[in-house]
C-alpha cells in the first residue's frame, strides 16, 4: 500500500517552525522575525527574491512593499495569474540592516531553508528576481544584465528550470526597464506552458 504524502502546507509550516528562531547568522540580531515564503505550495512557479525589506519584516510576508505591488501587477497582467496562485520566497529569510544586500555568509546560512522549500514545492520553474536570488539558487556569481531572460537547470533537480529577470525594485528605480521585465514575464509564461 502506498504511503500517503504529507500535505505541502503542513510540511512548509513545520519547516517554518524549525527555522523561526534561527541564529545561523548575525541577521537574527536585528530582525523582527524570520519571513517565510508565502503562497500556493502546489504552484508550478516559485519566485525567489533577495531578502525581506522593512515592510516585509514588519508584516512577516515577502514582497508586500512597492516592489511587491509591481510583482503582483506583473503576475496578474502578464502571467494571467493571481499572487495566491504562485509561491514567493527569498534567498535570505531575515532583513539585512538598512536593506543592504545579504552577504554570501548570510545567503549560505539560509540556503538549507530555501532548498527545503523548493524540495517540498517541486515547481516547474523558479524565477529569480535579481542577481542575488540567481546567485543564491545557482550557487555562482553572475551579472543579471548578462543572464536575464535565460534559463538554467536547478543544480539540485535539473528537471526544474531556473529563469532570471530583474528584481522589481530595480525596475522601480529604472522605469525604462519595465518593458524589459514585461518581455521576461512573457517568456516566463511560455516556459510554464511548455511540456
**Structural domain includes residue 59:** yes
Count CA atoms within 13 Å of residue 116 on its CB side: 14
What span, in angstroms and rounded, lies between the C-alpha atoms of 91 and 143? 17
3 pLDDT higher than 50: no
**Structural domain includes residue 177:** yes
**Structural domain includes residue 12:** no
- The CATH number of whichever domain residue 149 belongs to comes to 3.40.470.10
**Structural domain includes residue 148:** yes
**Structural domain includes residue 9:** no
User: Model confidence over 92-143: pLDDT tens digits?
Assistant: 999 999 989 999 999 999 999 999 999 999 999 999 999 999 999 999 999 9
What span, in angstroms and rounded, lies between the C-alpha atoms of 150 and 161? 10
- Closest to 187 (Cα-Cα) out of 168, 161, 153, 167: 161
pTM: 0.94
2 pLDDT higher than 70: no
Please give the grid coordinates belonging to residue 101: 544586500
**Structural domain includes residue 84:** yes
What span, in angstroms and rounded, lies between the C-alpha atoms of 153 and 160? 6
Per-residue confidence (pLDDT) for residue 108, from 0 to 100? 95
Q: How many domains does the chain have?
A: 1
**Structural domain includes residue 1:** no
- Parent domain of 176: 23-193
**Structural domain includes residue 136:** yes
Amino acid at each position: 500500500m502506498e504511503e500517503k504524502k504529507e500535505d505541502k502546507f503542513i510540511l512548509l509550516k513545520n519547516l517554518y517552525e524549525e527555522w523561526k528562531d534561527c541564529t545561523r547568522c548575525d541577521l537574527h540580531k536585528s530582525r523582527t522575525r524570520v519571513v517565510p515564503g508565502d503562497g500556493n505550495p502546489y504552484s508550478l512557479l516559485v519566485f525567489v527574491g533577495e531578502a525581506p525589506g522593512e515592510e516585509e519584516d514588519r508584516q512577516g510576508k515577502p514582497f508586500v512593499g512597492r516592489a511587491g505591488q509591481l510583482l503582483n501587477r506583473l503576475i496578474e497582467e502578464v502571467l494571467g495569474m493571481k499572487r495566491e496562485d504562485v509561491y514567493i520566497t527569498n534567498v535570505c529569510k531575515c532583513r539585512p540592516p538598512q536593506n543592504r544586500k545579504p552577504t554570501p555568509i548570510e545567503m549560505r546560512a539560509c540556503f538549507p531553508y530555501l532548498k527545503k522549500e523548493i524540495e517540498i514545492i517541486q515547481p516547474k520553474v523558479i524565477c529569480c528576481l535579481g542577481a542575488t536570488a540567481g546567485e543564491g539558487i545557482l550557487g555562482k556569481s553572475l551579472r543579471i544584465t548578462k543572464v536575464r531572460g535565460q534559463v538554467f537547470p536547478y543544480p539540485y533537480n535539473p528537471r526544474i528550470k531556473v529563469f532570471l529577470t530583474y528584481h522589481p525594485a530595480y525596475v522601480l528605480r529604472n522605469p525604462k526597464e519595465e518593458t524589459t521585465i514585461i518581455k521576461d514575464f512573457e517568456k516566463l509564461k511560455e516556459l510554464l506552458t511548455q511540456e
